[in-house]
Amino acid sequence: MPRPVNNPPNPWSSTHVEWLEEPPDAKLTIFEEECRSLLSANDSPDIPFRYSVNAYRGCIHACAYCYARPSHQYLGWGAGTDFDRKIVVKTNAPEVLRRELERPSWEGEAIVFSGNTDCYQALEASYELTRRCLEICLEFQNPVSVITKSRLIARDAALLGGIAQKAHATAFLSIPFARDEDARKIEPWASKPSLRFEAMRKLAEAGVPVGIAIAPVIPGLNDTDIAELLERARDAGAQWAFMQPLRLAREVLPVFDERLEEAFPLRAQKVRNAVMEMRGGKMNEAAFGERFRGKGQRWAMIEAVFKSNCKRLGLSHERLAEGASTFRRPKRQLSLFDG
């Protein structure tokens, strides 16, 4: 079980504080645990990857729409403020990842950081678990893909560039809002969009293939930002783009709805109506094959705007294809005492 930490490392007073913004105005409780396994296997037909790594549970970014919120209930906590303020750190994640990559059954498939909560949330500045896991992937030449809302990823630009040279690496910055002030209202402790674009540029300059994830698209709230986001991404060196419609699981809906009403009271009902139009009269669609797709005329127009702008800007919106795996297990160094 996760153990509460009395004096956890403070990322806002660390040597990496230059990558972070102001600390949240809420008390954080940090828990540490030693995990038995780290690679999570996924068999959903909707998700284009099989394996992911999550070194953290919960997320300080506190995005109102986060689809990962219900996962906190497995720990006996809530999907609301508990998810934002009770963060679990898997302190032995790098050691467990090394052990799993050394297994004869591992064949070097791409690993996604992170499939659940953000791998570059603020605590990563001091714990450096994602960085150490990426160093192991470089050692094994295992392909990786990273998606984050944090400028902290720029700290590891050279490391990701090394993986891109020896194996395969892609990095996606999730940027659903063009205006910093709008983003702050819905995803309060994620990096400002302007800083995420800066991180994208640093990654591209380091030789990392980069893309933008416009996720989630919230009709009536940020769908008009799509053209600008794609253009800014192209200017920052992006090669790819994808978007996903808003998903509001049962436990996420009240969190999102409360934040929406507080932040955009004059637009809240229009947004609800637009979401229901996109979801066939419901606020959410959970069925496989449908949850990542929108419906109706408005969503068709959103898709048309996205695709036409991708074409205009030379951004690919097709699923990324990988070549043969570059994975290899490092040879064990012999010592004078080996028989």
The count of other CB atoms within 10 Å of the CB of residue 275 is 24
In a domain, 131, yes or no: yes
| pLDDT recorded at residue 321 | 55
- Looking at the DSSP assignment, which residues form a beta bridge with residue 88? 31, 57
Is residue 288 in a domain?
Answer: yes
Instruction: Find, among 178, 170, 147, 157, the residue nearest to 61 by Cα.
Output: 147
* Residue 173, SS3 per DSSP: strand
Instruction: Provide the 3-class DSSP secondary structure of residue 310.
Output: helix
Q: Judge whether 336 lies within some domain.
A: no
Residue type, 296: G
User: Percent of the chain at pLDDT above 90?
Assistant: 78
- Establish whether the linkage from the previous residue to 216 is cis, with ω within 30° of 0: yes
Which pLDDT does position 263 carry in this prediction? 97
pLDDT tens-digit map of 264-307: 999 999 999 999 999 999 998 887 777 778 999 999 999 999 99
Number of domains in the chain: 1
Q: Does residue 75 lie within any of the structural domains? A: yes
CATH code at 33? Answer: 3.20.20.70
**Confidence at residue 226, expressed as pLDDT on a 0 to 100 scale:** 98
Which domain range does residue 215 map to?
29-313
Contact 134, 102 (CB under 8 A): no
Q: What is the pLDDT of residues 5-38, one digit of tens each?
A: 988 888 888 777 788 888 888 889 999 999 999 9
Tell me, yes or no, whether 178 lies in a domain.
yes
Q: Cβ atoms within 10 A of the Cβ of 334, count?
A: 7
335 compared with 84, residue with greater pLDDT: 84
Does residue 139 surpass a pLDDT of 50? yes
For residue 134, being part of any structural domain is answered with yes
Question: Tell me: the pLDDT tens digits for 43-82?
Answer: 766 666 789 999 999 999 999 999 999 999 989 999 999 9
Name which residue leads in pLDDT, 95 or 13.
95
Beta strands in 177-239 (DSSP E): 210-217
Tokens for 109, please give them. 């498939």
Residue 240 lies in a domain: yes
> What is the arithmetic mean of pLDDT over 1-5?
84
pTM: 0.93
Mean pLDDT of 237-259: 95
Query: Which run of H or of E encompasses 169?
Result: strand 169-174
Lowest average pLDDT, out of 118-122, 201-205, 318-322, goes to 318-322
Contact 100, 106 (CB under 8 A): yes
In a domain, 133, yes or no: yes
33 bridge partner residues: 90
**Nearby residues of 247 by Cβ (< 8 Å), 6 or more positions away:** 65, 67, 216, 284, 285, 291, 292
* Phi/psi at 146 (5° precision): -120, 140
